[in-house]
Amino acid sequence: MLIDDVLTTGATVDACCRALLGAGVRDVRVLTVARVADDHDGQNNNID
């Protein structure tokens, strides 16, 4: 099982899964604690 604290784009999880499957692992399960919300209105609402 692969555990990721925050899923943003999924690139890290994707790379890890590909590496594990490429190394012969038959099944990969992913548990994510939180994900970054989409910016639906097209504005960057981050507070700096």
Report the b/e string of 9-27 with b at 16+ CB within 10 A: eeeebeeebeeeeeeeeee
At 35, list the tokens.
């994900």
The helix (run of H) or strand (run of E) holding residue 5 is: strand 2-7
Q: What is the chain's pLDDT, residue by residue, as a tens digit (48 residues)?
A: 999 899 998 999 999 999 999 999 999 999 999 988 876 666 655 554
pTM of the model: 0.68
Are 34 and 7 a contacting pair, CB within 8 Å? yes
6 touches 36 (CB < 8 A): yes
